[in-house]
Structure 1
Amino acid sequence: MTTPTSDDYVVRAIRPDEWAAVKRLRLDALRDPVAHIAFLETYEDALARPDSFYQERAIGSGDGSSTAQQFVAETPDGNWAGTVTVLLEQPGTTDWAGYPVERRQGHVVGVFVRPEHRGNGLIKMLFDAGVSWAWQQSAERVRLFVHADNARAQGAYRKAGFGPSGLVVSFTKDESEEELEFVLER
Protein backbone atom coordinates (compact mmCIF):
# COMPACT_ATOMS: atom_id res chain seq x y z
CA MET A 1 0.00 0.00 0.00
CA THR A 2 1.35 3.43 -0.88
CA THR A 3 1.31 6.18 1.71
CA PRO A 4 -1.33 8.79 0.91
CA THR A 5 -0.10 12.31 0.17
CA SER A 6 -1.80 15.60 0.87
CA ASP A 7 -3.08 15.57 -2.73
CA ASP A 8 -5.22 12.54 -1.85
CA TYR A 9 -7.62 14.46 0.45
CA VAL A 10 -10.35 17.05 0.28
CA VAL A 11 -10.54 19.07 3.49
CA ARG A 12 -13.99 20.49 4.07
CA ALA A 13 -16.49 21.47 6.75
CA ILE A 14 -18.92 18.77 7.75
CA ARG A 15 -22.53 19.04 6.71
CA PRO A 16 -25.20 19.08 9.43
CA ASP A 17 -26.75 15.86 8.09
CA GLU A 18 -23.47 13.92 8.52
CA TRP A 19 -24.00 13.27 12.22
CA ALA A 20 -23.64 9.47 11.91
CA ALA A 21 -20.19 9.87 10.33
CA VAL A 22 -19.28 12.42 13.02
CA LYS A 23 -20.24 9.83 15.64
CA ARG A 24 -18.25 7.03 13.97
CA LEU A 25 -15.12 9.17 13.69
CA ARG A 26 -15.40 10.29 17.33
CA LEU A 27 -15.74 6.69 18.52
CA ASP A 28 -12.74 5.67 16.41
CA ALA A 29 -10.70 8.56 17.87
CA LEU A 30 -11.54 7.45 21.38
CA ARG A 31 -10.08 3.99 20.63
CA ASP A 32 -6.68 5.49 19.77
CA PRO A 33 -3.92 4.26 22.14
CA VAL A 34 -3.35 7.80 23.49
CA ALA A 35 -7.04 8.74 23.74
CA HIS A 36 -6.82 8.76 27.54
CA ILE A 37 -4.46 11.77 27.40
CA ALA A 38 -5.80 13.31 24.20
CA PHE A 39 -9.53 13.55 24.91
CA LEU A 40 -11.69 14.48 27.88
CA GLU A 41 -14.21 11.77 27.11
CA THR A 42 -14.04 7.98 27.20
CA TYR A 43 -15.19 5.64 24.46
CA GLU A 44 -17.85 4.22 26.79
CA ASP A 45 -19.25 7.68 27.57
CA ALA A 46 -19.34 8.66 23.89
CA LEU A 47 -20.97 5.37 22.91
CA ALA A 48 -23.69 5.88 25.55
CA ARG A 49 -24.68 9.30 24.18
CA PRO A 50 -27.96 9.35 22.26
CA ASP A 51 -27.94 10.01 18.52
CA SER A 52 -29.54 13.39 19.25
CA PHE A 53 -26.24 14.50 20.85
CA TYR A 54 -24.35 13.85 17.61
CA GLN A 55 -27.13 15.37 15.53
CA GLU A 56 -26.93 18.59 17.58
CA ARG A 57 -23.13 18.55 17.41
CA ALA A 58 -23.20 18.25 13.62
CA ILE A 59 -25.71 21.08 13.32
CA GLY A 60 -23.73 23.29 15.71
CA SER A 61 -20.39 22.74 13.98
CA GLY A 62 -21.55 22.07 10.45
CA ASP A 63 -21.00 24.11 7.33
CA GLY A 64 -22.51 27.55 7.80
CA SER A 65 -22.15 27.78 11.58
CA SER A 66 -20.53 30.99 12.82
CA THR A 67 -19.75 29.68 16.32
CA ALA A 68 -17.98 26.38 15.60
CA GLN A 69 -16.77 24.47 12.59
CA GLN A 70 -15.69 20.84 12.27
CA PHE A 71 -13.40 20.04 9.37
CA VAL A 72 -12.71 16.59 7.97
CA ALA A 73 -10.20 15.25 5.51
CA GLU A 74 -12.04 13.06 3.03
CA THR A 75 -10.31 10.41 0.95
CA PRO A 76 -11.24 9.79 -2.71
CA ASP A 77 -13.44 6.85 -1.63
CA GLY A 78 -15.39 9.08 0.78
CA ASN A 79 -13.83 7.90 4.05
CA TRP A 80 -12.84 10.42 6.70
CA ALA A 81 -9.12 10.29 7.48
CA GLY A 82 -9.04 12.98 10.17
CA THR A 83 -10.73 15.93 11.79
CA VAL A 84 -10.32 19.16 13.75
CA THR A 85 -13.02 21.35 15.26
CA VAL A 86 -12.64 25.06 16.02
CA LEU A 87 -14.88 26.72 18.58
CA LEU A 88 -15.17 30.51 18.61
CA GLU A 89 -14.65 32.07 22.06
CA GLN A 90 -15.86 35.59 22.77
CA PRO A 91 -14.18 38.25 24.92
CA GLY A 92 -15.90 38.89 28.23
CA THR A 93 -16.85 35.23 28.68
CA THR A 94 -15.23 32.57 30.83
CA ASP A 95 -13.65 29.50 29.24
CA TRP A 96 -14.11 25.84 30.27
CA ALA A 97 -11.25 26.15 32.84
CA GLY A 98 -12.68 29.25 34.52
CA TYR A 99 -10.26 31.72 32.92
CA PRO A 100 -11.59 34.95 31.41
CA VAL A 101 -11.55 35.12 27.62
CA GLU A 102 -9.86 38.41 26.85
CA ARG A 103 -10.17 38.47 23.07
CA ARG A 104 -12.04 36.81 20.23
CA GLN A 105 -10.25 33.55 19.60
CA GLY A 106 -10.57 30.15 18.05
CA HIS A 107 -10.19 27.09 20.27
CA VAL A 108 -9.16 23.88 18.49
CA VAL A 109 -10.61 20.67 19.93
CA GLY A 110 -11.22 17.09 18.82
CA VAL A 111 -8.02 16.70 16.78
CA PHE A 112 -7.67 13.22 15.31
CA VAL A 113 -5.97 11.65 12.29
CA ARG A 114 -6.29 7.93 11.63
CA PRO A 115 -2.93 6.17 12.12
CA GLU A 116 -2.61 5.15 8.46
CA HIS A 117 -2.91 8.82 7.43
CA ARG A 118 -0.35 10.27 9.85
CA GLY A 119 3.01 11.72 8.90
CA ASN A 120 2.09 13.01 5.44
CA GLY A 121 1.09 16.61 6.14
CA LEU A 122 -2.62 15.93 6.60
CA ILE A 123 -2.73 17.42 10.10
CA LYS A 124 -1.35 20.70 8.76
CA MET A 125 -4.03 20.76 6.04
CA LEU A 126 -6.72 20.30 8.68
CA PHE A 127 -5.22 23.00 10.89
CA ASP A 128 -4.87 25.37 7.94
CA ALA A 129 -8.60 24.99 7.21
CA GLY A 130 -9.56 25.50 10.85
CA VAL A 131 -7.29 28.48 11.38
CA SER A 132 -8.45 30.07 8.12
CA TRP A 133 -12.06 29.75 9.28
CA ALA A 134 -11.15 31.33 12.66
CA TRP A 135 -9.47 34.27 10.88
CA GLN A 136 -12.60 34.69 8.73
CA GLN A 137 -14.59 34.94 11.98
CA SER A 138 -12.26 37.81 13.10
CA ALA A 139 -10.40 35.75 15.70
CA GLU A 140 -7.24 37.42 16.98
CA ARG A 141 -5.58 34.13 17.84
CA VAL A 142 -6.22 30.41 17.83
CA ARG A 143 -5.42 28.15 20.75
CA LEU A 144 -5.55 24.53 21.84
CA PHE A 145 -4.61 22.49 24.85
CA VAL A 146 -2.36 19.44 24.76
CA HIS A 147 -1.42 17.03 27.51
CA ALA A 148 2.10 17.59 28.83
CA ASP A 149 2.89 13.90 28.13
CA ASN A 150 1.56 13.86 24.55
CA ALA A 151 4.82 14.53 22.69
CA ARG A 152 3.45 13.26 19.36
CA ALA A 153 0.62 15.80 19.38
CA GLN A 154 2.88 18.60 20.57
CA GLY A 155 5.21 17.94 17.62
CA ALA A 156 2.32 17.99 15.15
CA TYR A 157 1.00 21.26 16.60
CA ARG A 158 4.42 22.89 16.37
CA LYS A 159 4.66 21.86 12.70
CA ALA A 160 1.26 23.52 12.16
CA GLY A 161 2.67 26.79 13.56
CA PHE A 162 1.46 26.63 17.16
CA GLY A 163 3.71 27.19 20.17
CA PRO A 164 3.37 27.10 23.95
CA SER A 165 1.96 30.24 25.58
CA GLY A 166 3.20 29.37 29.07
CA LEU A 167 -0.31 28.72 30.44
CA VAL A 168 -0.59 25.33 32.15
CA VAL A 169 -3.93 24.04 33.45
CA SER A 170 -5.30 20.85 34.96
CA PHE A 171 -8.25 19.11 33.31
CA THR A 172 -8.78 16.70 36.14
CA LYS A 173 -8.82 16.66 39.92
CA ASP A 174 -5.39 15.05 39.70
CA GLU A 175 -3.18 18.14 39.65
CA SER A 176 -0.35 16.13 38.08
CA GLU A 177 -2.35 15.89 34.84
CA GLU A 178 -1.17 19.08 33.15
CA GLU A 179 -2.38 20.52 29.87
CA LEU A 180 -0.31 23.08 27.99
CA GLU A 181 -1.89 25.90 26.03
CA PHE A 182 -0.46 26.27 22.50
CA VAL A 183 -1.33 29.36 20.48
CA LEU A 184 -1.07 30.76 17.00
CA GLU A 185 -1.25 34.55 16.83
CA ARG A 186 -2.70 36.35 13.86
Structure 2
Amino acid sequence: MSGDYVIRQVRVDDWLAVKELRLAALRDPMAPIAFLETYEQARAQPDEFWKDRTARGAEGGPNRQFVAEGPLGDRVGTVTVLVEEPGTEDFTGQRVEQRQAHIVGVFVREERRGGTVAPDLFRAAVGWALAEEGVSRVRLLVHEDNSRAEAFYRKAGFERTRVVGDEYEMEYRPAA
Protein backbone atom coordinates (compact mmCIF):
# COMPACT_ATOMS: atom_id res chain seq x y z
CA MET A 1 0.00 0.00 0.00
CA SER A 2 1.01 3.55 -0.55
CA GLY A 3 0.89 6.29 2.06
CA ASP A 4 -1.45 8.39 -0.07
CA TYR A 5 -4.31 5.91 -0.49
CA VAL A 6 -5.90 2.89 1.14
CA ILE A 7 -7.53 -0.11 -0.48
CA ARG A 8 -10.89 -1.02 0.98
CA GLN A 9 -14.14 -2.77 0.14
CA VAL A 10 -16.98 -0.50 -0.89
CA ARG A 11 -19.76 0.18 1.56
CA VAL A 12 -23.44 0.42 0.67
CA ASP A 13 -23.38 4.19 1.23
CA ASP A 14 -20.56 4.60 -1.35
CA TRP A 15 -23.02 4.41 -4.25
CA LEU A 16 -22.45 7.99 -5.48
CA ALA A 17 -18.69 7.46 -5.54
CA VAL A 18 -19.13 4.10 -7.27
CA LYS A 19 -21.28 5.79 -9.91
CA GLU A 20 -18.75 8.59 -10.46
CA LEU A 21 -15.84 6.16 -10.74
CA ARG A 22 -17.71 3.98 -13.23
CA LEU A 23 -18.63 6.99 -15.35
CA ALA A 24 -14.97 8.07 -15.32
CA ALA A 25 -13.96 4.57 -16.44
CA LEU A 26 -16.46 4.67 -19.29
CA ARG A 27 -14.95 7.94 -20.55
CA ASP A 28 -11.54 6.27 -20.90
CA PRO A 29 -10.37 5.78 -24.52
CA MET A 30 -10.13 1.99 -23.95
CA ALA A 31 -13.68 1.76 -22.58
CA PRO A 32 -15.29 0.46 -25.79
CA ILE A 33 -13.18 -2.71 -25.66
CA ALA A 34 -12.86 -2.97 -21.86
CA PHE A 35 -16.43 -2.61 -20.62
CA LEU A 36 -19.82 -4.03 -21.59
CA GLU A 37 -21.72 -0.75 -21.34
CA THR A 38 -21.31 2.76 -22.68
CA TYR A 39 -21.04 6.01 -20.81
CA GLU A 40 -24.46 7.02 -22.11
CA GLN A 41 -26.08 3.80 -20.90
CA ALA A 42 -24.54 4.10 -17.45
CA ARG A 43 -25.31 7.81 -17.09
CA ALA A 44 -28.98 7.14 -17.88
CA GLN A 45 -29.37 4.68 -14.98
CA PRO A 46 -31.49 5.85 -12.00
CA ASP A 47 -30.07 6.17 -8.49
CA GLU A 48 -31.68 2.86 -7.47
CA PHE A 49 -29.56 1.05 -10.07
CA TRP A 50 -26.37 2.47 -8.53
CA LYS A 51 -27.52 1.73 -5.00
CA ASP A 52 -28.29 -1.90 -5.93
CA ARG A 53 -25.03 -2.30 -7.86
CA THR A 54 -23.03 -0.97 -4.92
CA ALA A 55 -24.88 -3.17 -2.43
CA ARG A 56 -24.04 -6.29 -4.50
CA GLY A 57 -20.34 -5.41 -4.24
CA ALA A 58 -20.34 -4.37 -0.59
CA GLU A 59 -19.83 -6.53 2.47
CA GLY A 60 -22.69 -8.99 2.77
CA GLY A 61 -23.32 -9.01 -0.98
CA PRO A 62 -22.50 -11.90 -3.29
CA ASN A 63 -19.51 -10.13 -4.86
CA ARG A 64 -16.93 -7.60 -3.78
CA GLN A 65 -15.83 -4.25 -5.15
CA PHE A 66 -12.59 -2.71 -3.96
CA VAL A 67 -11.59 0.93 -4.25
CA ALA A 68 -8.35 2.82 -3.80
CA GLU A 69 -9.27 5.86 -1.74
CA GLY A 70 -7.12 8.96 -1.35
CA PRO A 71 -6.77 11.03 1.84
CA LEU A 72 -9.64 13.35 0.86
CA GLY A 73 -12.00 10.47 0.08
CA ASP A 74 -11.24 10.65 -3.64
CA ARG A 75 -11.44 7.30 -5.41
CA VAL A 76 -8.47 6.69 -7.70
CA GLY A 77 -9.14 3.11 -8.79
CA THR A 78 -11.45 0.14 -8.52
CA VAL A 79 -11.81 -3.56 -9.26
CA THR A 80 -14.78 -5.88 -8.79
CA VAL A 81 -14.81 -9.62 -8.11
CA LEU A 82 -17.83 -11.65 -9.22
CA VAL A 83 -18.19 -15.07 -7.61
CA GLU A 84 -19.44 -17.64 -10.12
CA GLU A 85 -21.06 -20.81 -8.81
CA PRO A 86 -20.86 -24.26 -10.46
CA GLY A 87 -23.85 -25.15 -12.59
CA THR A 88 -24.59 -21.54 -13.54
CA GLU A 89 -23.72 -19.68 -16.72
CA ASP A 90 -21.29 -16.79 -16.83
CA PHE A 91 -22.15 -13.61 -18.72
CA THR A 92 -20.69 -15.08 -21.95
CA GLY A 93 -23.11 -18.01 -21.75
CA GLN A 94 -20.43 -20.53 -20.75
CA ARG A 95 -21.30 -23.13 -18.12
CA VAL A 96 -19.38 -22.61 -14.87
CA GLU A 97 -17.78 -25.91 -13.84
CA GLN A 98 -16.22 -24.89 -10.51
CA ARG A 99 -16.61 -22.17 -7.91
CA GLN A 100 -14.53 -19.38 -9.30
CA ALA A 101 -13.99 -15.65 -9.21
CA HIS A 102 -14.16 -13.37 -12.23
CA ILE A 103 -12.39 -10.03 -12.02
CA VAL A 104 -14.19 -7.22 -13.86
CA GLY A 105 -14.51 -3.45 -13.88
CA VAL A 106 -10.79 -2.75 -13.55
CA PHE A 107 -10.06 0.97 -13.67
CA VAL A 108 -7.35 3.29 -12.37
CA ARG A 109 -7.43 6.99 -13.10
CA GLU A 110 -4.90 7.93 -15.76
CA GLU A 111 -2.74 10.04 -13.45
CA ARG A 112 -2.31 7.02 -11.11
CA ARG A 113 -1.48 4.37 -13.72
CA GLY A 114 1.91 2.71 -13.68
CA GLY A 115 2.26 3.01 -9.89
CA THR A 116 1.13 0.85 -7.02
CA VAL A 117 -2.65 1.41 -7.14
CA ALA A 118 -3.50 -1.36 -9.63
CA PRO A 119 -1.19 -3.99 -8.07
CA ASP A 120 -2.59 -3.22 -4.61
CA LEU A 121 -6.18 -3.46 -5.89
CA PHE A 122 -5.40 -6.83 -7.48
CA ARG A 123 -3.75 -8.17 -4.33
CA ALA A 124 -6.88 -7.25 -2.36
CA ALA A 125 -9.27 -8.71 -4.94
CA VAL A 126 -7.41 -11.97 -5.56
CA GLY A 127 -6.67 -12.36 -1.85
CA TRP A 128 -10.33 -11.92 -0.94
CA ALA A 129 -11.47 -14.41 -3.58
CA LEU A 130 -8.98 -17.11 -2.57
CA ALA A 131 -8.93 -16.65 1.20
CA GLU A 132 -12.40 -15.39 2.06
CA GLU A 133 -14.48 -17.05 -0.64
CA GLY A 134 -12.37 -20.17 -1.12
CA VAL A 135 -12.72 -20.20 -4.89
CA SER A 136 -10.66 -22.71 -6.84
CA ARG A 137 -9.90 -20.32 -9.68
CA VAL A 138 -9.60 -16.58 -10.38
CA ARG A 139 -9.98 -15.39 -13.95
CA LEU A 140 -10.56 -12.34 -16.10
CA LEU A 141 -11.08 -11.47 -19.74
CA VAL A 142 -9.00 -8.96 -21.68
CA HIS A 143 -9.60 -7.76 -25.24
CA GLU A 144 -6.97 -8.83 -27.76
CA ASP A 145 -6.32 -5.15 -28.57
CA ASN A 146 -5.75 -4.13 -24.94
CA SER A 147 -2.05 -4.99 -24.73
CA ARG A 148 -1.31 -2.60 -21.87
CA ALA A 149 -3.94 -4.24 -19.66
CA GLU A 150 -2.77 -7.72 -20.66
CA ALA A 151 0.82 -6.82 -19.77
CA PHE A 152 -0.32 -5.65 -16.32
CA TYR A 153 -2.38 -8.80 -15.78
CA ARG A 154 0.66 -10.94 -16.63
CA LYS A 155 2.74 -9.03 -14.08
CA ALA A 156 -0.06 -9.62 -11.55
CA GLY A 157 0.24 -13.40 -12.04
CA PHE A 158 -2.36 -14.10 -14.75
CA GLU A 159 -1.73 -16.30 -17.80
CA ARG A 160 -3.77 -16.81 -20.96
CA THR A 161 -5.90 -19.95 -20.84
CA ARG A 162 -8.15 -19.70 -23.88
CA VAL A 163 -9.69 -17.40 -26.47
CA VAL A 164 -13.27 -16.21 -26.00
CA GLY A 165 -14.33 -14.32 -29.13
CA ASP A 166 -12.00 -11.34 -29.41
CA GLU A 167 -10.80 -11.65 -25.82
CA TYR A 168 -8.30 -13.75 -23.95
CA GLU A 169 -9.35 -15.49 -20.78
CA MET A 170 -6.54 -15.24 -18.25
CA GLU A 171 -6.25 -17.24 -15.03
CA TYR A 172 -4.37 -16.36 -11.88
CA ARG A 173 -1.38 -18.62 -11.42
CA PRO A 174 0.68 -17.59 -8.43
CA ALA A 175 4.46 -17.83 -8.73
CA ALA A 176 5.79 -21.04 -7.26
From 143, 146, 167, give the equivalent of 2:142.
146
State the match for 1:63 in structure 2.
59
Matched, 1:168 2:156: no
State the match for 1:9 in structure 2.
5
**What is the root-mean-square deviation in Å for CA atoms of aligned residues?**
1.2
State the match for 1:21 in structure 2.
17
**Cα distance in 2 for residues equivalent to 1:156 and 1:109:** 14
State the match for 2:170 in structure 1.
182
From 92, 113, 117, give the equivalent of 1:118.
113
Query: Superposed, which structure 2 residues align to 1:38-49 within 5 Å?
Result: 38-49=34-45
Secondary structure at the aligned position of 2:98 is classed as: coil
C-alpha displacement at 1:185, in angstroms? 4.1
Aligned residues: 173
- Please say if residues 131 and 142 of structure 1, whose CA atoms lie closer than 8 Å, have aligned partners that are also in contact: yes
C-alpha displacement at 1:81, in angstroms? 0.4
C-alpha displacement at 1:134, in angstroms? 0.5
Query: Superposed, which structure 2 residues align to 1:124-143 within 5 Å?
Result: 124-135=119-130, 136-143=132-139
Using structure 2 for the length normalisation, give the TM-score: 0.94
C-alpha displacement at 1:45, in angstroms? 0.5
Runs of 4+ in 1 over 6 A off after TM superposition: none
**Cα distance in 2 for residues equivalent to 1:185 and 1:154:** 14
Structure 1: which 5+ residue stretches go unaligned? Answer: 171-177
Deviations 1:123-152 (A, max 9, x none): 110011011111110101100000000011
Structure 2: which 5+ residue stretches go unaligned? Answer: none
